[in-house]
Structure formats: C-alpha cells, structure tokens
Amino acid sequence: VQLQASGGGLVQAGGSLRLSCAASGRTLSSSAMGWFRQAPGKEREFVAAIQWNDGRTYYGDSVKGRFTISRDRTKNTVFLQMISLKPEDTAVYYCGVTPRTASGSYYYTDSTRYGDWGQGTLVTVSS
C-alpha cells in the first residue's frame, strides 16, 4: 500500500494541526493504521493507531487527551488531530500500516510490525 502523509507545519505552542495520511493500492481491511513520530536523535515513538474495520483507537501516553486519530473509509484516509501542541511534539510524523495477526491481534506500538510507511511530515512547535 502507498501512503501519502500531509498537514505538517510550524505552529506555536498551544496551537493545533491536523495531519492526513491517504492510502492507496490495496484494501485496508484486516489492518490498522498508525502514526509514529521521530525527533532528531531520538527513537521512533508510537503516537496513535486505529483499527480500520471497527475504528478502535489506541494512543501513546504522551499524547492522550490531546491527539485524536480518526479515519474516513470512503477516502481511505486517516487523520491525526493534534491540539494543545507542545514544543516536545516537534518531530517528523510518519503514518504506517500494520496487519492483523493470525490470532486476530495487532502490534500497534511496535514500529517493526508496520510494513508500509508514508514519507513523513514535519511538525514544528515553537515555544
């Protein structure tokens, strides 16, 4: 599947942004889509994920209550609404797709379980 992320930019602390990730190439059923971020010198960090079929969502502790992941199945697009942004949210944000395992579970927070990635979109939060 091909993923195209967009929506990043420069925003002041306390502001908001909405990222989009458009998917194409194959069906996303039996998959989940997730957002990760990577700041300079740091490891890739799980941000949020959404189960494509039933919309169940999962969040990293650092973004709970501030970020909301959603999907539009008609457009094969996932969104990440970010509010109350902080300078520590500054990073390149990547969207990815992870398949459901044979047992029916997902490894949402493990970036190595994601087989497809978008190109990343930079979010910069100024203080």
Mind listing the pLDDT tens digit for each residue in 8-59? 999 999 999 999 999 998 888 889 999 999 999 999 999 999 999 999 999 9
CB-based contacts of 82, cutoff 8 Å, min separation 6 = 16, 17, 18, 19, 63, 66, 67, 89, 123
Predicted confidence band of residue 113 (pLDDT cuts 50, 70, 90) = very high
Amino acid of residue 70: S
pLDDT over 90 percentage in the chain:
91
pLDDT over 70 percentage in the chain:
100
For residue 25, the model assigns a pLDDT of 87
Question: What is the average pLDDT score of the chain?
Answer: 95
The dihedrals phi and psi of 125, each to the nearest 5 degrees, come to -115, 115
The dihedrals phi and psi of 34, each to the nearest 5 degrees, come to -135, 160
Q: Which residue has the higher pLDDT, 67 or 1?
A: 67
For residue 27, the model assigns a pLDDT of 80
Cα–Cα dist 84/94, whole Å:
20
Determine the average pLDDT of the residues in 60-73: 97
